[in-house]
C-alpha cells in the first residue's frame, strides 16, 4: 500500500511502520539530490511553520529554517524568553492559538508529554525537535548517513551507541533500529542502562523485523560494528550530573582503541553533535579546570576519515525537510 503521511504528527518513531520510516528516508535522499542539483522547491509554498524552543539548538533550528526556505514556506521562531509560552500561557492554550496561525509546529523541550499535549490540541501536525526521552528527527539523519556509507542492507548492519545508553538520542536510535531490523548495541555502564520498558518494546518489535537489541559494558560488544555512535555525557538540563557522569562514562569514551575493537576498518563514527572532543569550548575547558575531562570522544576518532559527523549534521536538514514535506507538503 502506498505510504501517505499527510496530517500526521512526528512525535516518536514508535508511531511509524518500517515502510513509513523507509519512505521518509527515501524522500530525504530525493530532496538532497534535488538540492545538490540546485533545483529550488515549492513543496512548502504557502505553508507557515512555527518553531518552539525551550532548550537551545544550532542544528535542529537551522535545519528547520533552511528546509522551510528551500521549499518556499515561511518560518517563525519562538523561545520561552521571548513569548508567553509556558509562563503566562499553558502549552494547551499555546497549541490552540498556534494551530490557528500555522500549518505545522516544531517543539523542543523537556517533557515528552508537552509535545504530545501540543499535538493533541493544535489541530495541525506537530514535530518533535527533541525532548528528554526522544529525538526522532535525529535518528532519521543518522540512518540516512549510515545508508550513504554502507553497501550492506540495513538489516545486516550493527550500530553501537557508546556511553549514556538511556538518553534521548540512544532511545530514538533504539526505536529506528528495531523498526528497520538493525542490530543495536548499547555499550555503557549498568547504572545508565536503558529503561526496561524501552528494551522490552524494542525487543518485541525486533521479533517482527529481525533486529537484535543488546546492551552491556563489555568492550567485545563493539566487535563487527558498522557504526559507532556517541553523545555528550550530560544532556541539556543535566549539567549538575557532570562529576558522576565523568566517573561512570570515562571507560566508555570513544577512542581509537574502541574503534579498533570493532575490527571493521569501514566502521563509521557518528555523533548527533554538539560534541566535546577537545578542550576548545568554554564548557570543556571550565570542567577540565575543575578536574573533569568531559570528552566523550577523542580527536583521533572525531577527526578521522571514519567520522561522518558533518555529513550527518547536513542530513538533519534533508530529513527534517522530508518530515515536513511528507506531513504537510504540496506533494
Ligand atoms: N543534534 C542536535 O539536535 O543539535 P542541536 O542541539 O544543535 O539542535
Ligand atoms: N542528548 C543531548 C542531545 C543533543 C542534541 C541532549 O539532550 O542535550
DSSP per-residue codes, 134-158: B-HHHHHHHHHHHHHT-SS-GGG-E
- Contact yes or no for 131/111 (Cβ under 8 A): yes
In a domain, 98, yes or no: yes
Peptide bond before residue 158 is cis, with ω within 30 degrees of 0: no
pLDDT at 62: 98
State the residue range of the domain holding 46.
Answer: 13-134+316-328
Q: Is the CB of 168 under 6 A from ligand 2?
A: yes
Given a contact cutoff of 8 angstroms between Cβ atoms, the answer to whether 148 and 311 are in contact is yes
Among 271, 268, 267, 316, smallest CA distance to 296 is for 271
* Grid cell locating 278: 577537545
Would you call 162 a catalytic residue per the annotation? no
Are residues 112 and 175 located together in one domain of the fold?
A: no
State yes or no: is 135 an active-site residue.
yes
Buried b (16+ CB within 10 A) or exposed e, 241-276: ebeebbebbeebbbeeebbebbebeebbbbbbbebb
Q: Is 165 in the pocket of ligand 2 (CB under 6 A)?
A: no
Q: Are 144 and 25 in contact (CB under 8 A)?
A: yes
1 within domain boundaries: no
| Cα atoms in the 13 Å half-sphere on the side-chain side of 40 | 5
Ligand 1: distance of its center to the CA of 62 in Å?
9
Q: In what order do the strands lie in the sheet with 268-271?
A: 213-216, 183-187, 158-162, 227-230, 268-271
Q: Which of 218, 293, 315, 307 is nearest to 256 (CA)?
A: 307
- CB of 275 closer than 6 angstroms to any ligand 2 atom: no
What ligand 2 atom has the least distance to the C-alpha of 236?
Answer: 8
Cα distances (Å, whole numbers) of residue 295 to 22, 66, 112, 262: 34, 30, 28, 20
Residue 197 in domain: yes
Return the sign of the alpha-carbon dihedral for residues 181, 125, 119, 319.
Answer: positive
* In-domain check, residue 80: yes
Q: Which of 8, 59, 61, 135 is catalytic?
A: 135
CA dist 283 and 260 (Å) reads 29
Q: Does residue 265 have an active-site annotation?
A: no
Per the CB < 8 A criterion, the answer to whether 126 and 115 are in contact is yes
| 303 Cα–ligand 1 center, Å | 19
User: How many separate domains does the chain show?
Assistant: 2
Q: Is the CB of 232 under 6 A from ligand 2?
A: yes
The verdict on 130 and 200 lying in the same domain is no
Would residue 8 count as lying in a domain? no
**Model pLDDT, residue 87:** 86
Known active-site residue 231: yes
Q: Calculate Rg over the CA atoms of the chain.
A: 19
Please indicate whether residue 319, judged by its CB atom, sits closer than 6 Å to ligand 2.
Answer: no
Indicate which residue of 108, 183, 295, 318 is catalytic: 108
Pair 122, 176 in one domain: no
For residue 167, the CA-to-ligand 1 centroid distance in Å is: 14
| Protein residue with its CA nearest to atom 6 in ligand 1 | 57
Under-70 pLDDT residues of the chain: none
316 is catalytic: yes
- Whether 30 is a known active-site residue: answer no
Which segments of the chain does DSSP mark as H helices, in order?
Answer: 18-36, 59-70, 91-101, 112-122, 136-148, 168-180, 196-209, 242-249, 256-261, 282-289, 299-302, 309-328
Show the cell assigned to 1.
500500500
In a shared domain, residues 188 and 111: no
Neighbours of 36 (CB within 10 A): 9
Atom 2 of ligand 2 has which residue's CA nearest to it? 235
Q: From CA 36, how far away is CA 132, in angstroms rounded? A: 34
Residues 287 and 320 in one domain: no
Specify if 142 maps to a domain: no
Q: Is residue 207 part of a domain?
A: yes
pLDDT at 86: 84
Whole-prediction pTM value?
A: 0.98
Q: Please check whether residue 20 lies inside any domain of the structure.
A: yes
Residues 74 and 46 grouped into a single domain: yes
Amino acid at each position: 500500500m502506498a505510504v501517505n503521511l499527510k496530517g500526521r504528527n512526528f512525535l516518536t518513531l514508535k508511531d511509524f511502520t518500517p515502510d513509513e520510516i523507509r519512505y521518509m528516508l527515501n524522500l530525504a535522499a530525493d530532496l538532497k539530490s534535488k538540492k545538490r542539483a540546485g533545483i529550488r522547491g515549492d513543496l512548502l509554498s504557502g505553508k507557515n511553520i512555527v518553531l518552539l524552543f525551550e532548550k537551545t539548538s544550532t542544528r535542529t533550528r537551522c535545519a528547520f529554517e533552511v528546509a522551510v526556505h528551500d521549499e518556499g514556506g515561511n518560518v517563525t521562531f519562538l523561545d520561552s524568553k521571548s513569548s508567553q509560552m509556558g509562563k503566562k500561557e499553558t502549552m494547551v492554550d499555546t497549541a490552540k492559538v498556534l494551530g490557528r496561525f500555522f500549518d505545522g509546529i516544531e517543539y523542543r523541550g523537556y517533557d515528552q508529554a508537552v509535545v504530545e499535549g501540543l499535538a493533541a490540541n493544535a489541530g495541525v501536525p506537530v514535530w518533535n525537535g527533541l525532548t528528554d526521552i526522544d529525538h526522532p528527527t535525529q535518528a532519521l539523519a543518522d540512518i540516512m548517513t549510515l545508508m550513504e556509507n554502507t553497501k550492506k542492507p540495513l538489516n545486516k548492519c550493527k550500530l553501537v551507541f557508546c556511553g549514556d545508553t538511556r538518553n534521548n538520542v540512544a532511545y530514538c536510535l533504539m526505536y529506528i533500529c528495531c523498526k528497520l531490523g538493525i542490530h543495536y548495541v548499547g555499550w555503557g555502564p549498568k547504572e545508565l542502562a536503558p529503561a526496561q520498558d524501552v528494551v522490552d518494546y524494542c525487543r518485541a518489535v525486533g521479533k517482527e523485523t529481525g533486529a537484535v537489541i543488546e546492551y552491556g559494558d563489555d568492550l567485545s560488544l563493539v566487535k563487527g560494528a558498522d557504526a559507532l555512535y556517541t553523545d555528550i555525557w550530560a544532556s541539556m538540563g543535566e549539567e549538575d550530573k557532570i562529576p558522576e557522569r565523568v566517573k561512570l562514562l570515562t571507560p566508555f569514551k570513544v577512542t581509537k582503541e574502541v574503534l579498533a575493537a570493532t575490527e571493521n576498518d569501514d566502521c563509521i563514527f557518528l555523533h548527533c553533535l554538539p560534541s566535546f572532543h577537545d578542550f576548545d569550548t568554554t564548557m570543556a575547558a571550565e570542567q577540565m579546570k575543575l578536574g573533569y575531562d568531559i570528552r566523550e570522544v577523542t580527536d583521533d576518532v572525531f577527526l578521522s576519515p571514519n567520522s561522518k559527523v558533518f555529513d550527518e549534521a547536513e542530513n538533519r536538514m534533508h530529513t527534517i525537510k522530508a518530515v515536513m514535506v511528507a506531513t504537510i507538503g504540496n506533494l
